Amino acid sequence: MAIKYAYHPGNVAHSGSPEVAESMIPLVKSLGIELTYLDGATSCGAGIIRQVNQRLQLTLNARIFAQAEDLGLDILTPCASTAGNLSEDLFLLKSNPILLAEINEVLMKTCGLEFSGETSVNHLLHVIVDEIGLEKIKPLVVNPIDFRVASYYGPNMQQEGFCGDDDIYDPNYMEQLIQTLGGHPVRWDSRIQSVGAPSLLSEEPTVLRQAASVLNDAKSEGAQMIVSACNLSHSVLDIYQGKASQKTGLKTNIPVIHLSEILSFAMGHYNTRYAQLRTRVLVIGD
Amino acid sequence: MSGSRSLLVLFGSQSGNAEDVASKVGKAASKYGLEATVKGMDEVTVSDLASQKRIMICCSTWGEGEQPDNAEDLWISANAEDSPLMSGVNFSVLALGDTSYELFCESGKEWDSWLEAKGGFRVNNRVDCDVDYEDLAQAWMDETLARMGAVDDSGTFQEDQVEQVKLNASGADINQSKNSSNAESSSVEISTDGDRSLLILFGSQSGNAEALAAKFAKQSSGYGLEAEVADMDGFDLSSLSGRKRVLIVCSTWGEGEQPDNAEELWIKASSASEGLLAGVNFSVLALGDTSYELFCESGKEWDKKFEELGGTRLVDRVDCDVDYDQISQEWAENALAAMAAVDGEGIFHEEMVQAIKDSMVSGSTGASGEDGFTVPELRSESISAEISIFRYDPNTSTTGKDTWVCALPGHMSILDVLRTLKSTQDGSLTFRDGPVDDPTTAISINGRHVLPGNLRLDLSAPIRNGGISINIEPLNGFEVIRDLIVEHWDLESKRESSKPWMISATRQGLNTPQGALGSMSPLVASKLHSMMDIHSYPIIHASSDATAYSDDYYGPAIIVQSWARRNDPRTAPSKKKEIEQLLDSPSGIKAETDFSSIRRQGKGSIIHDSLLDCKTSTLARDGFTGRHGKHVWWYAFTVKSSGRVNDTVLYRQVLGPIGLFSNLFSGVTARMVLGFTRTGGNMINDMLAFVAPPAGLGKMPKQFNSSVKNHHEVVAIYNEMDGRF
């Protein structure tokens, strides 16, 4: 029987990281997850709207929660930033009844919606490990991922109460999953470090140093690729790796793909793209 | 005298080196299945030696080939005509000496020859060490212990068992591997020492309280405590401040008066300053008589006074009537278990109390004490730990990691782990040592910033496959001096340049009987207090992942301190203006690239919320100018326009033509357009975003960002919540 979730694709799945939204489609079929798209869901705010008006971001996200609640579903997202930001706002609303009442007042007035607190936010990774179970993933693997993989979690969902039963500072869900897919997880220090994605455009020099450090750490530990659980960080680590290297002089050249992609490749989807990735890793290398 | 697995480790020592080696041997013996007794040569007789199956001797040489002082008598006895034979004794000798003397290691050589001449069996050849003896001594210790382990219960050396003993030893205890340094493998022996002292203070009139104090002191050894009983009379009150565990047994005299021997101390305590007993864990047993009006009044007063002076009550006071035997014993069992759960650093581990009580109930393995009291063995569970520590040598500018795999008590603090590794494994390991609450001792464990004295090993990381794996590093965002020690000067220098001092506003106070006093609303006071209640500024500074990559950034510790000062109603308007300039500067709150990494650390959510308020305030003052203002404004605006962020617009508006041009030549645009490392997906949107940025025309193009369903609701929320967009 399919597991049902309300689906939030994450911030830039429709633009900067279209491959995430695309790969999610066959992936959830393989995993036996039935997604109901939250067609009216807005951006989670990426921690940016919050900087200018926290209540505005809270209300926008409360609207998303209310939509999922109307469907009677919990929320699933493949983006760690979205998972973290939504979880943070959900926690605030659930832990402060006065705030919730005030936000509900605006929601009712503007959208005719009310949120009572009956939904949860889940990252794809936690659904796979906690709900589906790794033992059910193994039989689905068609193309074993025979690489040394550095798993990148980022800081957003590695917070108390936001990362399932995984450890905040020493997570290993993704490492377990990579192993199940046939890969070889690399232990590295920077996997929960921020790459400064929310400030990419405003504090670029610092963000480039942060990104270069993370990329270089993965390479130094012998990783052949980085698999990211975050749409936003995934984009920064990939697109800006050349510029980051120019800025810092560090070696940063390494393939960075999203978790949903590596899963769909392992389960036999997009074989051509997987071949391209293998070529990139095995032939072109560094 | 000699058990089947016993080993006698003898030292003849002049300067303490031989004793040190013997002590190490004694500690390491258990993993070879041996029960070692370490003794000085002046503590045994030659007859004692004859009854042993295994003897290891560590002996230095004094002056021109003389026996060390503590070995002289034994050597004379050994050479007496009637000295016993040593047949059946398996032995080996480590001789310490100095090649600059003519007779090098002479004493050790003498003992080696003597034991052989007396019929002993040399299981391992003597090793003679020069002044730089550590490595040779270690090698001798490892090999000899394995060989002693292969001496069977009948005293026969089984050479074919040596390798097996070595294998068992390496599996049972500790393997050491070093990733980057060349230190040799050796074992960690965990010292279970540390402060286990307990003070039992009695105030007694008839002698009952004193007798109970003495009884509880005897019982305390069963809990692994070293009790000292003290009379309140003449007791130095100030000496309590250094104590970690104190029990008070106090009777009441007459109509609620202190007993005679407690009066003077009570007077001193009554005028003592608050905080004197901070860190003191205590409990009180009050003796009294219900036939008097003020029952157990003295004990109640001590209980209250200890709390007022900052002590921590671990077990509630118990008030006893004249028939006090059973109730006082129940109190003692609870109080002693609680005191035993206070570790060497004074931290109370509540979760250990029940386990300690259980072990006392079931403990039948210990020796019997007086009063029918059985003293069980107090055990602490060990866990397998893989400990990696960052190393940096400033002399060679080399970095690396050392990794130890070891079995350690789970309740051990990380600071104790470091101390143990330093004392037993690598004396060059460098870290800041100090009291458990010393903020400068902060380090990073798996990315979590902590004071190492306050964190138990078994709580420092998840236990997986029966073990724990921790990666200890210096705090990020600081320059490393050596290993785990970082330079705090940069932070202090920044703090100084932030001018954190108060310049007060002239305010109208409240008229009170004491005169005019300034006032503050409880809400504001509470918020300011929570912001300023920072125990370790280095930890808060390191909680930002940006501080390590931005030299100018003040960092969250200084920003939050300044923000609190800015919101303090006592601050003068001119000072507030000055603080705002700092916060709004490029080195201020704008330099923080991601608040989420701060939120997860310890007190981070309070710091995070404060920094967020600070950023909101800065953006409002800036009127959305500059990259920061534009970034936030256009992000929020594009979400209002369609419900989704439009990175086409965002890049164009924030970076401007020059920024886009820069991206074109730095490869960013190429990677985005071509999906250089990524593996598919529709790149057309990204390509258009950079090649023909349409947002510059000022209107959101629908074809690049379709609106979410019921988009009007989003607009309505914006209009309701923030009219600026």
pLDDT tens digits for range B301-355: 999 999 988 889 999 999 998 888 888 989 999 999 899 888 777 788 777 787 7
A 121-180 near B (Cβ less than 8 A): 155-156, 158-160, 167-170, 172
Query: Does one domain contain both B614 and B649?
Result: no
- Give yes or no: residues B352 and B397 share one domain: no
Q: Which of B615, B625, B492 is nearest to B560 (CA)?
A: B615
Distance of CA B553 to the CA centre of its chain: 29
Distance CA B54, CA B153 (A): 10
B276: pLDDT strictly greater than 80:
yes
User: What was the pLDDT predicted at B725?
Assistant: 85
Q: How many CB atoms lie within 10 A of CB B454?
A: 17
Instruction: Answer whether residue B373 is part of any domain.
Output: no
pLDDT-based confidence at residue B603 (cuts at 50, 70, 90)? low
| pLDDT greater than 90 at residue A210 | yes
Average pLDDT over residues B286-299: 88
Count how many residues are written for chain A.
286
Q: Looking at the complex, does the CB of residue A240 fall below 8 Å from at least one CB of chain B?
A: yes
| Residue B498, burial from CB neighbour count under 10 angstroms (0-12, 13-18, 19+) | buried
A11 touches chain B (CB under 8 A): yes
Say how far apart CA A44 and CA A67 lie, in whole Å.
Answer: 14
* B145 pLDDT above the threshold of 60: yes
Considering the domain boundaries, does residue B186 fall inside one?
no
| pLDDT value at residue A284 | 58
As to burial, measured by CB atoms within 10 angstroms (0-12 exposed, 13-18 middle, 19+ buried), residue B449 is buried
What token pair was written down for B76?
């004379």
DSSP A189: G
Interchain proximity B447–A193, CB inside 8 Å:
yes
Q: Does B229 share its domain with B352?
A: yes
pLDDT, tens digit, for every residue of B39-49?
Answer: 999 989 988 89
Which residues of chain B make contact with A209, given a CB cutoff of 8 A?
549-550
The total number of structural domains in chain B stands at 5
Is B177 within the bounds of a domain? no
The tokens of B654 are what? 């924030």
Residues B359 and B403 in one domain: no
Span B220-227, mean pLDDT? 82
Whether B245 shows a pLDDT value over 50: the answer reads yes
CA distances from B184 to B166, B330, B404, B417 (A): 16, 51, 11, 19
CB contact under 8 A, B549 and A192: no
Which of the listed ranges A256-270, B237-251, B591-605 does the model predict with the highest average pLDDT?
A256-270
Identify the H or E element spanning A236. helix A231-239
- Alpha-carbon distances, residue B405 vs A172, B410, B444 (angstroms): 20, 14, 19
Q: Are A5 and A122 in contact (CB under 8 A)?
A: yes
Which carries the bigger pLDDT value, residue B67 or residue B657? B67
- For residue B184, the model assigns a pLDDT of 34
Chain B CB within 8 Å of residue A105 CB? no
For the segment A209-213, the average pLDDT, to the nearest whole number, is 96
Closest residue to B709, CB basis, from A40, A107, A238:
A40
Q: How far apart are CA B410 and CA B380, in angstroms?
A: 7
Alpha-carbon distance of A210 to A199, in angstroms, equals 11
Contact B597 A55 (CB under 8 A): no
Rg, chain A, Cα only: 19
Q: What is the DSSP string of B217-252?
A: HHHHGGGT-EEEEEESTT--GGGGGG-SEEEEEEE-
Classify residue B671: in a domain, yes or no: yes
Cα dihedral B548/B552/B556/B558 (nearest 10): 130
**Whether residue B75 is found in the same domain as residue B160:** yes
On chain A, the residues whose CB falls within 8 A of the CB of B622 are none
* Residue A207: closest C-alpha in chain B: B593
- Residue B607 clears pLDDT 80, i.e. is over it: yes
Output the pLDDT for position B636: 93
pLDDT for the residue numbered B93: 95
Residues B221 and B357 in one domain: yes
* CATH number of domain containing B432: 3.10.20.30
What percent of chain B is predicted at pLDDT more than 90?
A: 41
Question: Is any Cβ of chain A less than 8 angstroms from the Cβ of B600?
Answer: yes
**Same domain (yes/no): B208, B325:** yes
Letter for the amino acid at B328?
S
Helix (H, G, I), strand (E, B) or coil at B475: coil
Residues of B in contact with A50 (CB under 8 A): 612
The Cα A267–Cα B375 span in angstroms is: 62
The vertex-A42 CA angle with A92 and B641, nearest 5°, equals 125
Contact: A55, B650; criterion CB under 8 Å = no
Judged by phi (left if over 0) then psi (alpha if -120 to 50, else beta), residue A116 lies in alpha
What pLDDT is stored for residue B314 in this prediction?
93
Structure tokens at A286: 């560094």
Where is the domain boundary, B338, B365, B392?
A: B365
- Gap between the Cα atoms of B585 and A145, Å rounded: 48
With beta carbons under 8 A apart, name residues in chain A contacting B628: 202-203
Predicted pLDDT at B346: 79
In terms of Cα–Cα distance, which of B191, B185, B193 is closest to B405? B185
B400 and B287: one domain?
A: no
Q: Which whole-number Å values give the CA distances from B25 to B1, B44, B333, in the listed order?
A: 20, 18, 36
Closest Cβ opposite residue B666 in set A22, A168, A246: A246
Helices B604-622 + B626-642 axis angle, to 10: 90
* Position B694 confidence tier, pLDDT thresholds 50, 70, 90: very low
Question: A143: which 2 tokens?
Answer: 């193309």
Please tell me what DSSP assigns to residue B84. Answer: P
Q: Of the candidates B594, B599, B716, which has its C-beta nearest A159's C-beta?
A: B599
Least confident of B213-227, B394-408, B409-423, B621-635: B213-227
- Cβ pair B553:A206 closer than 8 A: yes
Which of B622, B642, B660 is the last residue before a domain boundary? B622
Mean pLDDT of chain B: 83
Tell the residue number behind the tokens 């068609």, with chain if given.
A142
pLDDT of residue B678: 54
Residues of chain A positioned with their CB less than 8 A from the CB of B637: none
Mean pLDDT of B237-257: 88
Supply angle C-alpha B534, B537, B540, rounded to 5. Answer: 85
Instruction: Please tell me whether residues B225 and B167 are part of one structural domain.
Output: no
Closest CA to B109 of A13, A82, B117, B366: B117
CATH of the domain at B568: 1.10.1060.10
Do B25 and B127 share a structural domain? yes
Cα–Cα dist B96/B21, whole Å: 10
Would you say B247 and B198 are in contact if contact means Cβ atoms under 8 Å apart? yes
CA distance A152 to A194: 10
Instruction: Say what the pLDDT of residue B35 is.
Output: 86
Q: Identify the CA nearest to B148 among candidates B275, B18, B36.
A: B36
Tokens 């003052």 found at: B621
Cβ–Cβ contact B658 with A under 8 A: no
Task: Identify which of A129, A246, A10 has the alpha carbon closest to the alpha carbon of residue B662.
Answer: A246
**Residue A77, strand partner residues:** A123
pLDDT at B236 over 90: no
Angle at A228 between CA A222 and CA A229, to 5 degrees: 145
Helix-helix angle B522-532:B556-566, to 10 degrees: 160
Inside any domain, residue B100 = yes
Instruction: Give chain A's domains with CATH numbers.
Output: 3-123 (1.20.1050.140), 141-284 (3.40.50.11810)
Say whether residue B640 is in contact with chain A using an 8 A CB cutoff: no
Of B587, B622, B657, the residue at which a domain comes to its end is: B622
Residue B352 pLDDT: 77
C-alpha–C-alpha distance, residues A130 and B242, integer Å: 48
Coil/strand/helix, residue B606: helix
> Which residues in chain B touch residue A243, judged by CB atoms under 8 angstroms apart?
663, 666-668
B666 interface with A at CB cutoff 8 Å: yes
CB-CB under 8 Å, B709 with A189: no
Residues of B whose CB is below 8 A from A109: 716, 720
Give the pair of three-digit tokens for residue A250: 């560090």
pLDDT above 80: residue A195? yes
The pLDDT value given to residue B171: 57
pLDDT tier, A11 (very low <50, low <70, confident <90, very high otherwise): confident
| Structural domain boundaries, residue B630 | 626-721
Domain harbouring B100, CATH code? 3.40.50.360
Range in A3-7, A70-74, B284-288, B421-425 the model is least confident about: B421-425
| Structure tokens that stand for B181 in this block | 């340094």
Q: Where are the beta strands (DSSP E) in B513-652?
A: 515-517
Task: Assess if residue B370 is contained within a domain.
Answer: no
- Mean local confidence (pLDDT), B5-12: 91
- The span from the CA of B672 to the CA of A240, in Å, is 9
* Separation of alpha carbons B555 and A182, rounded Å: 42
Least confident of B22-26, B168-172, B309-313, B628-632: B168-172
Residue A82 backbone dihedrals phi, psi, to 5 degrees: -65, -45
**Do the domain assignments include residue B231?**
yes
More confident residue, B14 or A36: A36
With contacts defined as CB-CB under 8 Å, which chain B residues touch A42? 639, 643-644, 708, 714
Q: Are residues B630 and B531 in the same domain?
A: no
Query: Which residues does B564 contact at the CB level (< 8 Å), separation at least 6?
Result: B528, B531, B532, B610
Which residues, 6 or more positions from B542, have their beta carbon under 8 angstroms from its beta carbon?
Answer: B442, B444, B449, B475, B476, B477, B478
Assess whether B37 and B146 both reside in one domain.
yes
Q: Is the pLDDT of residue B74 over 70?
A: yes
Side chain identity at residue B548, one-letter code: A
- Note whether residue B372 is domain-resident: no
Distances (CA, A) of B387 to B407, B450, B640: 10, 16, 50
Those residues with Cβ within 8 angstroms of residue A199's Cβ, 6 or more apart along the chain or in another chain: A206, A207, B592, B593, B594, B631
User: pLDDT class for A137, splitting at 50, 70, 90?
Assistant: very high
Mean pLDDT throughout A66-71? 96
Residue with more model confidence, B422 or B465: B422
Closest B-chain CA to A163: B600
